[in-house]
């Protein structure tokens, strides 16, 4: 069965083979999945920011550094938000 989306105004979109909800642990769609999908606090977190591209990084590669598997930092090229806009990078720590 293919999935559809229903907008707030009742308009239906789709059908789709796959729908991805990437709005995070507190997604407004989460309550449709039942108790097993409820978010739980974790002992770790992350800082993530989308920033204007800075020279000195490879525009076609992820750069990251690790301290074991518990600490990491990196810069990821993420392209442009629209044609003609400035290149962007994701910085995470």
For 2-57, what is each residue's pLDDT tens digit? Answer: 999 999 999 999 999 998 887 777 788 777 777 666 777 777 788 899 999 999 99
Tokens coding 42: 């974790």
Res 36: pLDDT: 63
Q: How far is CA 44 from the centre of its chain?
A: 17
Cα(first)–Cα(last) distance of the chain, in Å? Answer: 39
**Rounded CA gap, 35 and 31, in Å?**
8
The more confidently predicted of residues 44 and 60 is 60
Instruction: State how far the alpha carbon of 11 is from the alpha carbons of 6, 7, 14, 22, 77, in Å.
Output: 6, 5, 10, 21, 35
Res 28: pLDDT: 80
Judged by average pLDDT, the poorest of 11-15, 42-46, 73-77, 88-92 is 42-46
- Residues of 44-81 as b/e, b for ≥16 C-beta within 10 angstroms? eeeeeeeeebeeebeeeeeeeeeeeeeeeeebbbeeee
Domain parsing of the chain, residue ranges: 1-41, 44-93
């Amino acid at each position: 069965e293919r999935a559809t989306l229903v907008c707030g105004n009742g308009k239906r979109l789709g059908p789709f083979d796959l729908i991805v909800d990437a709005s995070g642990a507190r997604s407004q769609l989460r309550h449709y999945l039942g108790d097993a999908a409820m978010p739980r606090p974790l002992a770790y977190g992350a800082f993530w920011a989308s920033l204007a591209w800075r020279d000195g990084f490879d525009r076609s590669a992820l750069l990251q550094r690790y301290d074991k598997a518990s600490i990491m930092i990196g810069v990821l090229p993420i392209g442009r938000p629209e044609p003609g806009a400035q290149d962007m990078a994701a910085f995470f720590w």
